[in-house]
Structure 1
Amino acid sequence: MAPVTTARRIVDPAEARDAMPAAAAGEDGIGKSLGDRAYDQLLDRMLEGTFPPGTLLQERALAEMLGISRTPVREALAKLESEGFVTRDVGRLLVVREVPMQELMEILHVRTILETEAAGIAAGRIPAAELAALRALFEAQLAGSLPDGADVRAADDRLHGSIVDAAGNIVLAETVRSLRRRTRMFNLERLPDRFVPGCREHLAIVAALEQGDGTAARLAVAAHLESTRRGILAKLELLSAGRPAG
């Protein structure tokens, strides 16, 4: 069976599988499909440098490594390709794409420009009932134990989606959603320390929107995205520090 190869090294699927936690080798977690688990495992290896840029990603070898069928692996690869983490070379083979830190920072910069503008426009436009529901959602998350990552993502998507939709610009809304997908890998599992600050930042945004204060809403969104940027930078630097040389 062909291994996953790169110009620098050969990844042995059996060796990689042995090093994985049991749950990652095919046991489906609550609320998370095999495709989602495969996505998480492959993205982790890309971010950590186990699969460096240029690594060939072959469905069969990856399925053997993860201990699952090729279908969820195919789903994971399709998602990674849509988010720009893998690309196709001249032979149509999937390879890991280098995503420079600068590119991620530029994405967050564009998000800040667009989302702060959207927040200023959205202030006073989002129904009070929706804002009350969002407030209750984030307050409940803060009051409880660490929630499921899918619940956190859903709440985050709901708030940011409500803002860009209320701005009334379809192109802006579609652009923001596309950019958010490209930074979604930095989720609760990878940035657990951002959970409590993130909830509080979301509540500050909701408060400004409830008051219909466009200036305060812009500032709250900008502060939230700056904190997100700092969290991502810290995580990438930590991963880089632990990455083997060569």
Structure 2
Amino acid sequence: MTSFNSEERELLHRILRARRDIRHFRPDPVPEDMLARILEAAHYAPSVGFKQPWNFILIRSMEVRSQIKNLFEEANKEELEKLSGDERSDLYSRLKLEGIMESPLNLAVTCDRDRDAPFHLGQGQMPEMDLYSTCLAVQNLWLAARVEGIGVGWVSIIDPEKTAKILGLPNHIQLVAYLCVGYPIEFKDRPMLEEAGWKSRLNLADLVYEDRWGQPAK
């Protein structure tokens, strides 16, 4: 079994801490060999029942991306209205929460709910495990992109059903992540929302329990 030395362990933790949600992109295209490595890393994610339920849709069409951007604008307006009277409303209105048109590549990550049907190993009691597995593929992709100097931004402020229609997804294919991918203007030292004052990182010790909910770990 492969073992890792202290420098390699520290490198992994450096990569984890350096990951950022990117919203500002340079127009330079992502090299195809680099994209292939990033997708391969995603494909090596763990999956329950070794189902590998993911697919990756590379979206380069500006027409398709314009439609997605319109969905974002609609949804973002609704989200802002929810903050009416909230002191964070002005801050929210100034946040840049997507890079759909600026990034050289958009990438949709989907989950095939019917893959390996009719028996889904490991999903009998928790049928959503294929969705969680697909999220692990997204995390692998994100970290591999960071190592390559490529930024990733997850756009969640879009209607998933309307997005699925634009992308032509069959009924058994579920959208998990809509990503903006490309070289970032910069990788900031802190997460964008923390830097903007939206929220600070929580204290890990407050989030770790032992044996049962709410019982602090020793």
TM-score (norm 2): 0.27
TM-score (norm 1): 0.25
RCO comparison, higher one (Cα < 8 Å, 6+): 2
The structure whose residues are more often helix, as a share, is 1
